[in-house]
Amino acid sequence: MPVNGDSAGRPPSRSQVRRTPRIGITTYLEPATWGIWQREAALVPRVYLEAVVAAGGVPLLLPPVGTDPSVLEVLDGLVVAGGCDVDPGSYRAAPHPETVDTRPGRDDHEAVLIRAALDRDLPLLAICRGLQMLNVTLGGTLHQHLPDVVAHDEHRPSPAVFGTTEVKIEPGTLTAQILGERADGSCYHHQALDVIAPGLKITARADDGTVEAAEVEGHDFALGVQWHPEENPEDLRLFTALVRSAS
């Protein structure tokens, strides 16, 4: 609770006031329609915002324009959101025929924010593409088309339809502290982690071996998951843990 100032009746200083944690969320530039307008806009699905608010935080949107890592100085936590494919040029690979929807500018933007968040030990939750960006930023690579590896497309069952994946979580990890030994998640992706970056520890896998969660070693809260926890408003444990760590 905010304090009431001092005995002289002066208002509390900023350092005396306990504010609601400010959680930055990365956004992306996409063609959008509102009213009579059809223009490019910075956007992120509303479910991310609602998840942060329900977990006790205040969402602040971070567009991939005018990237400045000093913006993290006003944040208490960071969510790297899901979205399109990571550009294979980010990890020096030729594009797969199925890698057709990339945003290199967004990749660069998020890589800067990820590095800055880790440098500051800012609580970080990376979701789906966000986990992939976390791995690539730290020096890892991706499977560009997961069906080539696991021989099925259950992680992306059909256009705009989420699948469900069950993951087995490594005991003794932050992921296990939050979610327990197993968890179910909404998934929609055809890329996944391949070569794991130095300092990134796998903490969960799907039954087919797909990496489903990883943590950055040496940080209190730097966690990525391959599924979409924002899609399940009945299970906000990951967002709640992020906000608690950011408090």
Is the pLDDT score of 1 beyond 50?
Answer: no
3-state secondary structure of 135: helix
Q: What pLDDT, in 10s, does the model give residues 125-136?
A: 999 999 999 999
In the block, tokens 């998020």 appear at 110
Number of domains in the chain: 1
What is the phi-psi region of residue 244: left when phi exceeds 0, alpha when psi lies from -120 to 50, beta otherwise? alpha
In this structure, what is the dihedral angle of CA atoms 114, 97, 42, 142, given to the nearest 10 degrees?
A: -10
Rounded Cα gap, residues 88 and 104, in angstroms: 9
**Mean pLDDT taken over the chain:** 93
Q: Is residue 10 part of a domain?
A: no
Task: State the DSSP code for 151.
Answer: S
> pLDDT tens digits for 69-124?
999 999 999 999 999 999 999 999 999 999 989 999 999 999 999 999 999 999 99
55's tokens: 């977990």
pLDDT at 19: 86
Query: Residue 125: which domain range?
Result: 20-31+39-246
Task: Quote the pTM value.
Answer: 0.92
Amino acid found at 52:
V
* Mean pLDDT to the nearest integer, 54-62: 98
Residue 1 is assigned to a structural domain of this protein: no
72 domain-assigned: yes
Residue 4 has pLDDT above 60, yes or no: no
The answer for residues whose C-beta is within 8 angstroms of residue 213's C-beta and 6 or more apart is 131, 167, 169, 175, 202, 203, 204, 223, 224, 225, 226
Reported as a single tens digit per residue, the pLDDT across 174-217 is 999 999 999 999 999 999 999 999 999 999 999 999 999 999 99
Tokens matching residue 108: 């660069």
Residue 240 in domain:
yes
Query: Coil, strand or helix: which one is 147?
Result: helix
CATH number at residue 69: 3.40.50.880
Asked if residue 13 is part of any domain, the answer here is: no
Residue 127 within a domain: yes
Q: Which residues form the catalytic set?
A: 128, 228, 230
